[in-house]
Chain A
Amino acid sequence: DAGITQSPRHKVTETGTPVTLRCHQTENHRYMYWYRQDPGHGLRLIHYSYGVKDTDKGEVSDGYSVSRSKTEDFLLTLESATSSQTSVYFCAISLGTSGRGAGELFFGEGSRLTVL
């Protein structure tokens, strides 16, 4: 168990409203990621973080922002939600760059977001 908690697990919102998803980890891992999963697209990287206040864009970052003010929390924000952002969002952590588990991602249980 990698100690990842995502909240909320389910959310329904309206177009144009801001939404923040939270990923919390208990084991002080440095690397954290946000992916979205959509039918026909698999998992796509939105943003990632290599440490506090160190974030970068992934493959599908438009319309999303992230913040990492503490090692344990990685927040994903939709400034103005659109229907195309209806998806399941997964947070993931990496154990590091070397040693056992290097290169692997451990995922949270997901946050299902519906934008009406």
Chain B
Amino acid sequence: DQQVKQNSPSLSVQEGRISILNCDYTNSMFDYFLWYKKYPAEGPTFLISISSIKDKNEDGRFTVFLNKSAKHLSLHIVPSQPGDSAVYFCAASETRANSKLTFGKGITLSVRP
């Protein structure tokens, strides 16, 4: 049973517009959530995270929103740039002290110039 779900396999947006990547989870014990970005032939790189005590975390063009009651989080990228084209993985763990991350399947984002 998949505990972290990224139901949309791909997303295409125009440069300069907002990209919204969604993620749902089923395990109510998850307490810490992260987004990773992956380019082809490279390892995933950490993008942004959020603890369950918050509902929003912002870092430059990237904002993550968490809705605990709905078990839903989203990553907003504003404005989107062609260099943002990559696979984005949502991940979760039961505690920040435990780096055993459970990942979603990933979303391929394409930003059109």
Please tell me if A58 contacts chain B, counting CB pairs below 8 Å: yes
Number of interface residues of A (CB under 8 A): 27
A94 to B46, CA, bound (A): 12
Interface flags, A42-65, vs B, CB<8A=1, else 0: 111100100000000011000000
Interface flags, A12-54, vs B, CB<8A=1, else 0: 0000000000000000000101010000111111001000000
Q: Which candidate, B53-61, B70-78, B102-110, is the interface stretch facing chain A?
A: B102-110
Please tell me if B18 contacts chain A, counting CB pairs below 8 Å: no
Q: Which residue of B lies closest to A43 (CB)?
A: B103
Number of interface residues of B (CB under 8 A): 26
Q: Which residues of B contact A75 (CB under 8 A)?
A: none
Among B41, B43, B46, find the residue whose CB has the most chain A CB atoms closer than 10 A: B43
Q: Which residues of B contact A105 (CB under 8 A)?
A: 46, 99, 101
Please tell me if A74 contacts chain B, counting CB pairs below 8 Å: no
Q: Report the minimal beta-carbon distance from A61 to chain B, rounded to whole angstroms.
A: 13
**Chain A residues within CB distance 8 Å of chain B:** 4, 31, 33, 35, 40-45, 48, 58-59, 90, 92, 94, 97-98, 102-110
**Chain B residues within CB distance 8 Å of chain A:** 4, 6, 32, 34, 41-46, 49, 89, 91, 93, 95-106
